[in-house]
Structure 1
Amino acid sequence: MESPPARRILLGRVHGAFGVRGELKLESFTEPANAILRYQPWILRDAQGHERELAGARGRLTTKGIVATFPEVADRDAAEALRGSEVWVARSALPPPQPGEYYWVDLEGLRVVNREGADFGRVSHLFSTGANDVLVAEGERERMIPFLQPDYIVSIDFDQGVVTVDWDPEF
């Protein structure tokens, strides 16, 4: 019997070449931005879904984001070929969260119910709008709930596998 695939977290994205020596512009979703370099090896996934493992990436923080060098990327053409690639890591590569903290990926799959017990399905994913984060619950239909605690996200119970929300089931 095969073991389930390891959970992964999207940490960043390659935006293209930087200069002519094979450096890349790298968008980081970590805080601080250069923390992305700590969590290697990476799984690079291109737009067609092809994946490869990458270890040994180095980089520096600039005013425009991370400028990185990848092993075996020696010129602008090779760097530009990686444009749009996503940088993923195994969930196990990240340090355990502090008490009361969690990674978004840890919420995925939890049941979502409101205070009255209405079942909204399961957490599909979360995303940031810039103004606030949003929890997406997939059930009989999709619901997007602002991830504002305690206004709309009342509680998260990992032991029970439930996120309780203050949200009208008709909305």
Structure 2
Amino acid sequence: MTGNTTRHILLGRVVGAFGVRGQVKIESWTEPREAIFRYQPWTLRDAAGNARELSGARGRNSGKHLVADLPGVEDRDAVDALVGLEISVPRSALPPPRPDEYYWVDLEGLRVINADGRDFGIVSHLFSTGANDVLVAKGDKERLIPFVQPEFVTGVDFQAGVVGVDWDPEF
């Protein structure tokens, strides 16, 4: 791995209240989305960067969102104070990825080098288009490379700190 064990992975956010008894609606980006409850403790962080740790969240599917019970959150006012908070966990709380699968956070900061040895800079971040994920390499310019293996992403070497790509430098 890349030594990112102290980094936090964003898994979801609190999006609203559910009822009046202190339950919250959660948007989860885990797959399946209920898996967010397997990875705890959570770090709840607001837009200003203020964070607190929370353990013992339980929940269930409810249409578009998950509905969760959070320890110490027992009324609508307490829920309103949580709306908008991001939910993250330490990278070390997640299981190892399967072969040829990667956590995006593990790829961030790696060098991107094409088949001709041209250095495209480093992986800034990745994002999803729905059709596929896209790797953003920042170097002499920003390049958006579809994260499609093995057509465009030919390999990831964590030991060398390199993502190999088959990509035209002019794109």
Could you tell me the TM-score, scaled by structure 1's length? Answer: 0.91
RMSD: 1.6
1:31-52 alpha-carbon deviations (Å, 9 max, x no partner): 1111100110011111221111
Residue 139 in 1 paired to residue 145 in 2? Answer: no
Identity of aligned residues (%): 68
Contact map agreement 2:5 2:90 (CA 8 A) in 1: no
1:38-93 alpha-carbon deviations (Å, 9 max, x no partner): 11001111122111111111111122221111112111222122111111110111
The secondary structure found in structure 2 opposite 1:78 is: helix
1:83-122 paired onto structure 2 within 5 Å: 83-122=83-122
Residue type of the partner of 1:166? D
For 2:6, the equivalent position in structure 1 comes to: 6
The secondary structure found in structure 1 opposite 2:164 is: strand
1:119-134 paired onto structure 2 within 5 Å: 119-134=119-134
Q: Note the C-alpha offset of 1:99.
A: 3.2
For 2:33, the equivalent position in structure 1 comes to: 33
Q: Note the C-alpha offset of 1:5.
A: 8.2
Task: Name the count of aligned residue pairs.
Answer: 168
Runs of at least 4 residues off by over 4 Å: none
CA distance in 2, matches of 1:133, 1:80: 33
Residue type of the partner of 2:13? R
CA distance in 1, matches of 2:146, 2:160: 22
1:115-154 alpha-carbon deviations (Å, 9 max, x no partner): 1111111111111122211111122222221111122111
CA distance in 2, matches of 1:67, 1:24: 6
Residue type of the partner of 2:37? L
The secondary structure found in structure 2 opposite 1:53 is: strand
Q: Mind listing any 5+ residue stretches in structure 1 that lack a counterpart? A: none
Could you tell me the TM-score, scaled by structure 2's length? Answer: 0.91
CA distance in 2, matches of 1:155, 1:118: 15
Residue type of the partner of 2:77? D
Q: Mind listing any 5+ residue stretches in structure 2 that lack a counterpart? A: none
Contact map agreement 2:127 2:134 (CA 8 A) in 1: yes
For 2:54, the equivalent position in structure 1 comes to: 54
